[in-house]
Structure formats: C-alpha cells, structure tokens
Structure 1
Amino acid sequence: MIGKLDLYRVFSVVAKNNSFSRAAKDLYMTQPAVSQAMMQLEKELGTRLFNRTPKGVTLTTEGSLLFEYTNSALGLLDAGEEKLLEFKNLTTGQLKIGVGDTISRFFLMPYLEAFHTMYPNIKLQMLNGTTSEICNFIKSGEVDIGLCNFPIEDATLQLTVCTDVQDIFVCGEKYKTLVSKSLSYQDLLKFPLVFLEKKSNSRRYVEDYLVGYGIHIEPEFELGSHDLVLEFARSNLGIACVTKEFSKDYLQRGLLYELILEESIPPRSIGICYLKTVPLSRAATKFVEIIEHKRLNTRKTMKKA
C-alpha cells in the first residue's frame, strides 16, 4: 500500500502534467497504478481532486488548493534532504568546541587549522571555560565536544586522551639560586606561591597530589589564566606551578627557570570529552579523527626514534 507522503508526491506530479499517463512515465509507474493512487487519496480526503476528461485531467477547486500546500511542503522536504546531504558531505554546518584559553593556544590551534583547511564551510564556534564549566557545556548541549584537563570523573562522558603534560615549578631571576639544588615540597612552602585559581582542574590535580605528601598549600596568588601565572613568576612575585609544555617559550628564552624537585609530580593528560549517549555530529566526528590520527602518527614517529 502506498504511504500518504507517496500519494501526495504522485498527486503533485499528476497535477503538474495534467495527465495520468505522463505522470506515470515521470514516476516510472504504470498508468493504472497512478490512477489507483489518486482514487485512494481522494477517498481518504473525502473529496474529488481531479476533473477527468478524454484529454487528461484538471484540478478541481479543492485540488488546486491542496496542490498549493502540497507543492510547498514537498519543496521544503526536498530542500531539507539537500541540506542533510550538505551536512553529510560537510559542505555546511557548525562545530562547537568548549576549551580553555591555554589548551586552545598551545594544543588546539594546529588541529583547528587542519580542520578548517579540509572543511572551510564548517563554522567553528569556541566557548571558553574551565574543565568543570566545559563539562557542563557538553551536558547542556552548548558544545559538541570539549578539550579539557584530565582527570575527569564523570560516567556520562566519553574521554579520549590526546597528550600527556607535566606540571612543574618555576621561578624568575630573584629565586634563580634555587635551581642549583634539589627541593622538597616542604621547601616550596618557604616561598610565596603562585597558582591557578581553585576551580582549575590542573590546580586541583597538583593540590590533591601534594596533600598525599601532607603538604597543604596556601598560595599568595591565585590567578585565572596560565599566562598570568607565568608573568607573575617572571616578575619575581613567587614560585609558580605551571604546565611545562605550555611554558616552553619562557623557559627557552631564560625568562623562567625550572626547579628541580626531589619527587616529580606525575604527568596528567589533556583530552577530548563528549556525551556517551549522544552521537557526535559528522563535523565533530571528523575533528576527533583528525586529532587521533595525528596522535597516532606522533607515537609511531617517537617509537622509530
């Protein structure tokens, strides 16, 4: 039995051709099948749609009214199908990413560039926040994926590690003499400390680790960005806890000095997170694939070296 939508499609073609036989050719159907379909539609609607003549058919007043709406509705459906095809082929669409300033600047940019080169018509939207804020963005549907500091304890999120990073302590010129010796965590407490704010996931990771050694920190400065932490250390305002991979420029230029610790803080990870229960859009899937592909290539290169 022909479905209601198919009946309207047949009706539209018959109305445009003013003929069952010509409509049958366009639809690759038999003329009796087209005629039967129109009789079924008229029966279901309880009204006559066509005036049947030896020369063909013409629309009744009711048929003309229905044709206006049917033609418009089918046009919208066709446009919708075309738009879906565009999304499938990534010739249009949007990708919304939740990420912090530091990860965006030091990790994400090359992947954004690669994705934009491959899919220039996909609009990229970035929403800034801390790890906890980004997780909330994901759950509320404000972003498709997030790039966050791990660890994250949330059973609703799919987590994929992208790279490992190392937390270190650094100092400026004023405290440079400390570089020549190995320091304990207890030694650090003798100096003013510069940390990220408490809601930062990386801050919590280091703080939780230090608590395991019985060390409870009370930083003199708690700042909202990694760049500010670096600048405060460079200005000799204290010993700063920073991410080594995001501080290379300061270290290489001799603006900051890495302190040697008796016990290094274990590495942590940066990764992608998204809802387990919601399938990723095609754009988000491709973006994740780009990151994972480069990560695998990097590992292979390191193994060969």
Structure 2
Amino acid sequence: MVGKLDLYKVFWMVGRNKSFSKAAKSLYMTQPAVSQAIMQLERELDTRLFHRTPKGVSLTNEGSLLFEYVHSSLNLINAGEEKILEFKNLTAGELKIGVGDTITKYFLLPYLEAFHNKYPNIKFKIVNGTTLETLSILKAGEVDIAVCNFPVEDSALERIAFIDIHDTFVCGEKYKDILSGPISLDELVDLPLIFLEPNSNSRKYVEDYLLSKGIKLSPEFELGSHDLLLEFAKINLGIACVTKEFSMEYLEKELVYEVQLKEDIPTRNIGLCFLKSVPLSPASTKFVEMIEGNKE
C-alpha cells in the first residue's frame, strides 16, 4: 500500500520535471505506477492537479498551490533527516548535565574540556545543584545525565560509579598540635565542627555513618560550599568535614591539616546517573563512554 507521503513525493517529482516519464526515471518507478499514484492522489483530494498534453504535463492552479506546500514540507523533512545525522555524528546537538559546583571544579572540568575539544559543535548546558536537586531535574527531563555524590538509591536510575572519594576532617594551625595524635569519632564531635548543609548528600552520608555509631552531630557552622569549609578551617573556626580528594591543594600547601582518626569513614563514590526509561542521546552516550574510558 502506497502511503500518503509517498504520493506527495511522486506528485512533487512530476511537478518538478513536468513529465511522468522523467519522474518515473528519477524515482526508479514505472511510468504506469507514477500515473496511478497521481490519479490516486487526485481522487483522494477530489481535485485535478495536472493538465495532461501530448507534450507532457503542467500543474493546474490547484496543483501549483499544493506544489508549494509539498515542496516546503519535503525540504523540512530533508532538513530534519540531516539534523538527525548531525546529532548521530556529533556535529550538532546539546549535552545537558546536572552537577554540583564542587564536582564540576574538582572532577568534571577535564572531561568537559576533552569532550569540547573532540566535539566542538556540541553545546553544554550545565545546571548546578546539590545531588538531590540534580536528581530531581534529571527525573523531570531537564538534563540528560547527573554527576553526583553516591550513594544514590533509586530504581528508576541507571548508576555508574567512577572514582572513590574519602570523607575526612581538616583543621587550621590553631588545632594542629591539639590534634597531633589519632582521635576517636567520639572525641572529634566534642570539638567545634564545620559541615555542609543538611540537604547535601555528602553531609548525609557522614551523618548517617556517625549515627550508626551512636554519635549525633551538632555542627558550629553549616555551609553551602566545599571551598568555604576549607576556608573556615584555615582561619581556625573549627574542624571541617571535607572530601580529601577535593582538598589536596590546601593540604599540600599546609593551609589546613588532616585530622588523624582512629577509625576511617568508609569510602564512597562520585558517579553518574541517567534514567533507565529514556535512551541517552548520542552526545550523552559519548560523554559517558569518555568518562568510563578513564575510570579508575
């Protein structure tokens, strides 16, 4: 059965060539098949579209009007097909990522740079937020992927862990000698503590671990930025709970000092999430593959 779109393609080719035989040759069809297609379209529209003469065919007034619309429509379809090929070949498109500022700065930037160098025509849309916020916008379809702090428990999401990270505590010069030897978590919580805000996945992970040991937190400061944790610790406002891998510049320059614990907090991960029910775009797929290729 010939579809309506196929009929319009035949109509367009006949109108363009002003000949059934030339249209048939271009479409790799027989001339009777082309004639049948035009007759079928004319019956369905109840309108004569061509004047038939021994020298060929010409469009009627109605046919000329229809030809302009069909010409525009077919061009739009061709343009759409070309765009799809561009997206598949990564010569166009957009990569939408939900991620927090700290993970962007200390983990994601090298991958964004490498991806941009390889696929310069792909645009980035970076939406910042906490892990809970980025997962919310991911599930709302506002971003393609979310890069966030694990653990993440959600059966609707595909989760890929990339790097291990370690939660630790750091202090400034004032507390350096006081905390010269390993201390227990019970001793630690008696000191002025600096933590991220309660809605942070990093804060929740450490807090849940301490609660499992019967230790309840009561921080002196609750901040919205990992960099601020380091700055507050540096000026001796308290003991800051930070991600060690994201604090190496401060530690190496001895702007802050790591507190030695008798019991280390278990390792967790930075990872990537996307919806199981929605196929990744070509750009997102390539980006995930790039990070996985460097997975530790």
TM-score w.r.t. the length of structure 1 is: 0.96
- Inter-partner Cα distance in structure 1 for 2:178 and 2:47: 93
- After superposition, the CA RMSD in angstroms is 0.8
Counterpart amino acid of residue 115 in structure 2 = F
- Inter-partner Cα distance in structure 2 for 1:212 and 1:41: 75
Counterpart amino acid of residue 278 in structure 2 = V
Counterpart amino acid of residue 71 in structure 1 = H
1:178: how far off? 3.4
Alignment of 1:62-211 (within 5 A): 62-211=62-211
SS in structure 2 opposite 1:120? coil
Q: Structure 2 vs 1, CA of residues 2 and 80 (structure 1 numbering), >3 Å: closer, same or farther?
A: same
1:40: how far off? 1.2
Note if 1:11 corresponds to 2:7.
Answer: no
Superposed CA offset, 1:229-249 (max 9, x none): 000000100011000000000
Bigger shift: residues 176-185 or 267-276 = 176-185
- Inter-partner Cα distance in structure 2 for 1:220 and 1:132: 24
Contact 1:196–1:223 at 8 Å: present in 2 too? yes
Contact 1:20–1:31 at 8 Å: present in 2 too? yes
1:180: how far off? 2.2
Structure 1 stretches lacking a partner, 5+ long:
299-305
- Inter-partner Cα distance in structure 2 for 1:290 and 1:228: 31
SS in structure 2 opposite 1:269? strand
Counterpart amino acid of residue 36 in structure 2 = Q
1:79: how far off? 0.9
SS in structure 2 opposite 1:182? coil
- Tell me which residue corresponds to 2:222: 222
Note if 1:294 corresponds to 2:289.
Answer: no
1:143: how far off? 0.7
- Inter-partner Cα distance in structure 1 for 2:67 and 2:113: 48
1:188: how far off? 1.0
Alignment of 1:265-280 (within 5 A): 265-280=265-280
1:161: how far off? 0.2
Superposed CA offset, 1:210-260 (max 9, x none): 011111010000000000000000010001100000000000001111111
SS in structure 1 opposite 2:38? helix
- Tell me which residue corresponds to 2:247: 247
SS in structure 2 opposite 1:237? coil
1:104: how far off? 0.3
Tell me how many residue pairs correspond in the alignment. Answer: 296
Q: Percent identity?
A: 66
- Tell me which residue corresponds to 1:28: 28
SS in structure 2 opposite 1:260? coil
SS in structure 2 opposite 1:210? helix
Counterpart amino acid of residue 237 in structure 2 = L
- Inter-partner Cα distance in structure 2 for 1:191 and 1:46: 88
1:118: how far off? 1.0
Superposed CA offset, 1:34-83 (max 9, x none): 11111111111111111100000011111111111111111111111111
Contact 1:8–1:70 at 8 Å: present in 2 too? yes
TM-score w.r.t. the length of structure 2 is: 0.98
- Inter-partner Cα distance in structure 2 for 1:77 and 1:253: 59
SS in structure 2 opposite 1:106? helix
Structure 2 stretches lacking a partner, 5+ long:
none
SS in structure 2 opposite 1:178? coil
- Tell me which residue corresponds to 2:235: 235
SS in structure 1 opposite 2:66? helix
Counterpart amino acid of residue 160 in structure 2 = T
Contact 1:179–1:257 at 8 Å: present in 2 too? no
Contact 1:178–1:259 at 8 Å: present in 2 too? no
